[in-house]
Structure 1
Amino acid sequence: MKKLWLMLLFSPVPMLYYGFFLQDFYILKQIGGLEVFSNLTLILYYIQSKKRKDFASIDAYLIEALLYTIVGAVLIFLFNDNLLLMFIHTVGFYLTHFMYINVFRSEGSVLPALSTLMQEWKIISLTVLFFVGLVFLLITYTPNSLLLISFVYSTQMMLLCWMAYFRPIPQIAFSFGFLGVFFMVISNLWLAINLLYQSLCHSITIYYILYSSAQFLIVESVLYNQKLKSVSSPLNNQ
């Protein structure tokens, strides 16, 4: 069953959907339509992956994270002002990432002392690269009316990276999740470049692959961790 969901998510179906229904819209509406397809698919995949007896353990934060982007994408189709569309899309992503932070917190992720954080060169390197790249785009190309929310959003994205890095979960689940957050960072940078600087070749297709991969890996990380916790639960070992 998992292969069927993966085939749907990464098959030509979303691109056909884009070609028939979204191609004539503004780029953010095209992206929003694809995000709706991706997130609805992942919500159904997540719910289907939970056994009926385990239905009560469905992570509400995870569902809400995927739903916030869907709501933001749907709202985009109600307006035409480009700045307003960017604002709505950013708020939708902000709420999505806030829910992911809550998912990681519920798993036990906490930020360590600053002295400990500074010793983790991998996360520091990723944070600096992301911050420098995005701040350059913000200062150089972002409209003044969106500077504040864009800066807040960027800061939150760094916090999400840190929370993903300090999740106290098994290695495979950790790797899925951190790679998912990394792809999310790259997809955000790719989107910022195409919106604020220059539209590049195959921008929509590349964004969809990065975005869907990011969301899938995070969902898969949560599922894998929940599965391991369920197996090791004392109630299941009796």
Structure 2
Amino acid sequence: MDRRLTAIVGVTLLVALAGCSGLAGSTGGPGNGPGDQATLDGRIDVAADGEATASPDRATIRVAVTASGSDAQAVGDDLAAADDSLRAGLTEWGLTEDAIRTVRYDVSETYESRENPEREQYRGVHQYAIELDDVDAVGEVIDVAIDSGADEVQRIQFGLSDDREAEVRERALQNAMANARDDADVLANESDLTIEGVHAVSTGGSGVSPYRVADSAAVAEGDAGGASTGIETGDVSVRVSVNVVYAVQ
């Protein structure tokens, strides 16, 4: 009888301890206060994307000057002279020095020179990024750069200023939240649930897709004394994602 009584008491204690453990798990730990996820009767988690577009208000033109010769120092001197000419032309047009950035400078032996030392040859490249806020002046600036010594127009990119990007991102977030609610409504209806409100929301990834133009899209309009180079432009898009937790019953 004593052994049976001991066993019964032992089982009772285990059950009691298990109950205490369960209570501790439901009330302990961070983030389990009133209205937190652990106290929800039900939830729907939705991830959604949103996008918004706007016309660009900033442009970056990538140009380059090149030089070649049998002497590396002479090639470097040619690049330096071209640099002075290019910067002088662009600043005289109205750009500041800060708007003309070097993105690459290189003087190296050519492949033919490495294969045949008797034909020692060097090639130099100086690439620039020219930034301007007047997107309508892109064609004119390209003409100025070419007239001032640029040998290549490599890429034209249209983007957004910080203020414009913030405005477009806000609209993209609004679209993402609307898309999330649409998805949540469908899920709730299909599950015979009612959405009570938003329990939690966070943003995921985001990105800006600038509008890029290859050099082949730069078309000269008119004669030599006519209009400047015409450049095709397009909208810039901003895309964001959100994660929303809806409380449902």
Greater helix fraction, Structure 1 or Structure 2: 1
Greater strand fraction, Structure 1 or Structure 2: 2
State whether TM-score is above 0.5: no
Structure of higher RCO (CA pairs closer than 8 Å, 6+ residues apart): 2
Aligning the two structures, in what range does the TM-score lie when normalised by the shorter sequence? under 0.3
Relative to the length of structure 2, the TM-score reads: 0.20
